[in-house]
Amino acid sequence: MPVAIITGASKGLGHALGAAFARRGWDLVLDARTAPALEASAEELRRYGTGVRALPGDVTDARHRAELVAAARELGGSLDLLVSNASALGAEPLVRLEELPLEGLRAALETNVVAALGLVQEALPLLRAGTPGAVVAVSSDAATGAYGTWGGYGASKAALDRLVAVLAVEEPALRVWAVDPGDMGTDLYAAAVPGDDDPRPAPDEVVPGFLRLLDERPASGRYAAPALVAGR
């Protein structure tokens, strides 16, 4: 069975990706900070009959990252996919740069960039041993567009995009994709912009874009999930 690690997997896009992979028979290692929500997510995914390891913790903790990779090694001996989906906003709700707490920016960079790279570093031996493996870094349109109040979060995702682009150059045998999932109705968005009740796609609706990457394995690069879903 192919094996995937998914961070931020207790709800939203992370849970939706886990369900899609479980339906395809993938074994999964799931991460999230809140243990009860993560275990509930894992219990639902185990109904598909695949191996699911749920490890609550914070991806900024190096020991926790090592535990995630060790669990993947125990499940399959190699790692086919690493999805860095766990994200921090830096301020909830989002605020203008003049008000952005520097500690919040540091927290966003630590989760969205430093921890994502740390997990890649920990997982590289298993990724190279796989088919070879693939890395998906969940990005944002805020990484490329200047939207008011999204400066800190967008800066962290822009940095993540650059790391992913360089990783693709340095690891040509892997597939390394930064994926902008587009607007979604998630808890993260609600925390970023409370009171914005405009309808947005559910995470399930963009999952086919991620699956298309896995099925077609296009060149490493930056992709937008809604465009992949639309066949572009």
Residues serving a catalytic function are: 139, 153, 157
- H/E element, 29: strand 27-32
Distance CA 141, CA 143 (A): 5
Partners of 82 in the β-ladder: 5, 135
- Per-position DSSP letters for 100-138, written without gaps between them: --HHHHHHHHIIIIIHHHHHHHHHHHHHHHSSS-EEEEE
Distance CA 56, CA 201 (A): 27
Contact 206, 182 (CB under 8 A): yes
